[in-house]
Each structure stands twice: as structure tokens, then as C-alpha cells.
Amino acid sequence: MAKILVTGGCGYIGSHTIADLIDNGFEVVSVDNLCNSTEAALGGIKELTGVNVQNYRIDLVDEKATRQIFLDHPDIKGIIHFAALKLVGESVEKPLLYFRNNINSLLSILNCMDEFDVENLIFSSSCSVYGNARALPVTEKTPLQEAESPYARTKQMGENIIQDYLTSRQDQNAILLRYFNPAGAHDSNLIGESPTVPPSNLVPVITETAIGKREKVVVFGDDYATRDGSCIRDYIHIMDLANAHTKALQYLLDDKNSDNCEIFNLGIGQGVTVLEAVNAFLEATNAPLNYEIGPRRPGDVVAIFADYTKAAELLGWEPTRDINDIMRTAWEWEKKRVK
């Protein structure tokens, strides 16, 4: 039973990944300062798996506090580093906050990896590293363009820092996972997306509107050169995404990697327009939704979706759910949250 440190373990992707890791026999320790979450997710994990996961409520920017985790747990075999701030718009307003939090917490983790000889790291990267990709679908070899936001730059920098760190390391490995658009909730409805800072992503905006927390959904533009004029994205169900982390970790633990830093795209390989997503919500839930067409959002790319062939071939990972599953589970979770 390998022990894994999950940073950002109380957050959205972290909590679902912890559930999947436990299901697959891993022991998990979490670290999360709760800047965008609560420990309620750990209660859901307990109900789901029967396991009480320990969380260190510390800020990873604090290297000394971070070191203490590794002193307490010298047997950590791998780290999955989710902890980061992720609001694109906020990062434009407060770039230094994003650099300080996202870069310094990564440096703390790498310093501990170095000092305590932790062999394996999985890093949460993002499709935003591709910027305005020139060709679709995007493969891991698609050239990265200029970052569209300080947030995206922290992901590009994070990838570079890890690659540089590993250049002179023989016994340490990392996988950089570039997620496309994660959404939906756990099938059990015991965990889901519960940020403490209001979300700006499409799916929670839709469910929060339908439940009455927001007045309306504004579709950001219907005059793009796409099949219905709205932007295209690759929405990946959170349970599929979580399972990819377990597979990536197992791949490293089994020494199947051919390079000590490998990159994988995680999407479902299908583009969905904003209007198609709205319709999927209406069909999957029968709930009413107040939405209207508004102006384009500055910085939005017209279309992006993944080629995930590499993850399928090397990790043995395949997405099993689609936008309808996303909308159904996100809606069940939203209804439960208001109770």
C-alpha cells in the first residue's frame, strides 16, 4: 500500500482523486490550507470509502511547515500536486498573488522531493499552456503559444521548473497532466465541486443559475466561426480525470516511463459548444435554465479539444463519460449542496 501525498486534497479534483486512489489501494495524506475548500470533502470520502484521510492545514508556500509533513511521513512514495489558485480572471488582476502561491508552493514541494528522496511527482497542468493552439485536436507535441493569463503562465513555468529540476536527476520522475475542462461530480453524490470562492467555469455557473444562486447564464458570444457560433471546449468528467491520476502514478511506480518527465493530455477528444452544453443540461436534468447570449469574453480561445491517444496507449486510460453524464452528476450535486 504505497503512501501518496495529495496537495490540494480538499479541493475539487484532489478530493475525487483521493477517492479513486483509496479505491485502488493507496494510502493518502492530504495537505490543503482551505483557501478554496473546506474539509467537508474528507467527510464525503470517509462516507464513500470508510477511510479517514489526514489533512495538514498548512500553506505550501511555507517551506518549513511543508517539510514537517515529510518528517512525519518519511515513507511517501509519490506526490500529486494539485494545490494552486485557478481563477483566470483573478490572475489578471492579481498576478503576483498567483506567482507567489502557485510557483512558491511548487518550489516547496520540489525542495522536499529533493531532500526526502521522493521518487514520483504528478503535476496538475492545464490545456491553457497551449494558448491559442494553431491546430486541432491538440497533441502533447502541439507547440505552446504565449500564455493568455498569469494563471496559464504559472502552469507553463511550473512545467519548465519541473523539467529543469529533473534534468540532473536519475531516480526521480514526473508526469505533467494537461487537463482540458474538468466538470461533473462523483457518481455517489458524496463529493463534488464545492469551492469557497465563487466559480467562473461554465458548468458550475449553469447549475448555480438553475438552482437560483445566480440570475442567468450569459453565453459569451455566438458569433464565432463554429457550428453554432459559440466556443468549443473538451469537457472531461471528474471521475475519469481522477482515475487518470491513479493510472499515471501506477505507471511511474511500475517504472513504465521511458523519460523522467512525460506529458499527457487529458480530455475526451470531443469538442462541445457552449450552446450544446446548455442543451445537454436541459436534456439531462429537465430543469429550467435562464440563459442569454452576451458579448465575447476577452481572452477566450475559439475552440480547443484534446487528442488523448498518448494517455490511452501508455497509461491504458480511456474516458468513459460525456457531457450528459457531467450535467446529470453536477446537477445532482448542486441540488444536494443547497439542502
- The whole-angstrom separation of Cα 86 and Cα 129 is 13
List strands edge to edge, sheet with 3-7.
54-56, 27-31, 3-7, 76-81, 120-126, 173-179, 261-266
Interface contacts to ligand NAD, rule CB under 6 A: 8, 10-14, 31-37, 59-61, 82-86, 101, 105, 124, 126, 179, 181-182, 195, 201
With H, G, I as helix, E, B as strand and everything else as coil, classify residue 26. coil
From the list ligand NAD, ligand WQD, none, which binds 199 (C-beta under 5 to 8 Å, kind-based)?
none
Whether 114 and 16 have beta carbons less than 8 Å apart is answered as no
The reply to whether 90 sits near ligand WQD by the rule CB under 6 A is: no
Is 130 in the active site?
A: no
Instruction: Specify the long-range contacts of residues 161-164, CB closer than 8 Å, at least 24 apart.
Output: 161/103, 161/106, 161/107, 161/110, 162/106, 162/110, 162/121, 162/123, 162/261, 163/261
- The whole-angstrom separation of Cα 47 and Cα 36 is 22
From the list ligand NAD, ligand WQD, none, which binds 35 (C-beta under 5 to 8 Å, kind-based)?
ligand NAD
From the list ligand WQD, ligand NAD, none, which binds 79 (C-beta under 5 to 8 Å, kind-based)?
none
Judged by beta carbon, residue 166 or residue 306, the one nearer ligand NAD is 306
Whether 9 and 55 have beta carbons less than 8 Å apart is answered as yes
Judged by beta carbon, residue 53 or residue 278, the one nearer ligand WQD is 278
Q: What's the min distance (Å) between Cβ of 145 and ligand WQD?
A: 13
Strands 232-233 and 272-273, sheet pairing: antiparallel
Judged by beta carbon, residue 101 or residue 149, the one nearer ligand NAD is 101
Q: Which residues within the stretch 241-280 sit at the binding site for ligand WQD (CB under 6 A)?
A: 274
From the list ligand NAD, ligand WQD, none, which binds 231 (C-beta under 5 to 8 Å, kind-based)?
ligand WQD
Partners of residue 78 on adjacent β-strands: 4, 120
- Angle between the N-to-C axes of helices 202-211 and 274-285, in degrees from 0 to 180, rounded to the nearest 10: 40
Single out the residue of 26, 53, 78, 86 in contact with ligand WQD (rule: CB under 6 A): 86
Q: Which residues within the stretch 152-191 sit at the binding site for ligand WQD (CB under 6 A)?
A: 181
- The whole-angstrom separation of Cα 202 and Cα 247 is 27
Judged by beta carbon, residue 201 or residue 273, the one nearer ligand NAD is 201
**Residue number of the CB atom closest to ligand NAD:** 11
Return the C-alpha cell found at 205. 455557473
Catalytic residue, from 56, 130, 151, 308: name it: 151
Residues near ligand WQD, by CB under 6 A = 86, 88, 126, 128, 181, 200-202, 205, 217-220, 231, 233, 274, 297, 300
Tell me the catalytic residues.
151
